[in-house]
Chain A
Amino acid sequence: VASFGAMPAFASLADDAIAEITGGAEMGEGALTITAPEIAENGNTVPISFDAPGAVMVALFADGNPTPKVASFKFGKLSPSHSASTRIRLAGTQNVVAVAQMEDGSFQKTQANIKVTIGGCGG
């Protein structure tokens, strides 16, 4: 597990992908939640949902996948809850990170550790 800010030279691919969105801005916590299983038997299809009241955009990352980007969701005026569920692939046990851009331009972040029994990237 990477420790934040300690070794910037070895920043992971996921950190790079997150910085692409946030521009390196500080990220708060609290307004954003992820719901995910603690243990996923099949990494090919892991159910993930998030709830981000007040967010205009939510991006999901998997820090142990060969390409960490998973998906990004933009919400329009008719979306009341700014939440969504989907199913994702995980190569192995890792963290799924959600980053939300709020209406005021600030960023929120949260993550969930998921233990994967069988990886979902083939090979």
Chain B
Amino acid sequence: MAKGVKPRVKVPKTASAGETITIKTLISHKMESGQRKDSDGNAIPRSIINRFTADFNGENVIDVTLEPAISTNPYFQFDSVVPESGDFKFTWYDDDGSVYEETKSIKVG
């Protein structure tokens, strides 16, 4: 597992049924592009988050494929409809096989 990886997600705690909310996500990750060289001139191997997904109660909201051109600490902002109370599940997939997950509950009332 890459060191110092920490997902952060901002989701409102409550919404009204059918409301559109904005979600912000960020995961701390160095996103080594594979283009850089170390001080001896050797290429530093690529090590990035290659996929990010967001689901609400099992229904997909967004599914992103990331390439090395995404900046360090990948950030995404997007919208979702909230039809009922439930859980947002966010998943990041690392090149090294690690999977990072974060869950946020939202209440419709």
Does A123 interact with chain B (Cβ within 8 Å)?
yes
> Which label, helix, strand, loop or mixed, suits the secondary structure of the B interface?
strand
Interface size class of A (residues with CB under 8 A): 20 to 34
Q: Which residues of A contact B105 (CB under 8 A)?
A: none
A79 touches B62 (CB 8 A): yes
Closest to A121 in B: B35
Closest to A60 in B: B69
Closest to A87 in B: B71
B64 touches A72 (CB 8 A): yes
- Whether A79 contacts B33 in the complex (CB less than 8 A), given A70-B70, A89-B71, comes out as no
Cα-based distance from A84 to B54 in the complex (angstroms): 12
Q: Which residues of B contact A71 (CB under 8 A)?
A: 64-67, 69-70
Q: Which residues of A contact B60 (CB under 8 A)?
A: 74, 76-78
A80 touches B64 (CB 8 A): no
| A contacts, CB < 8 Å to B | 44-46, 49, 62, 65-67, 69-81, 83-90, 120-123
| B contacts, CB < 8 Å to A | 20, 33, 35-37, 55-56, 59-72, 74-81, 83
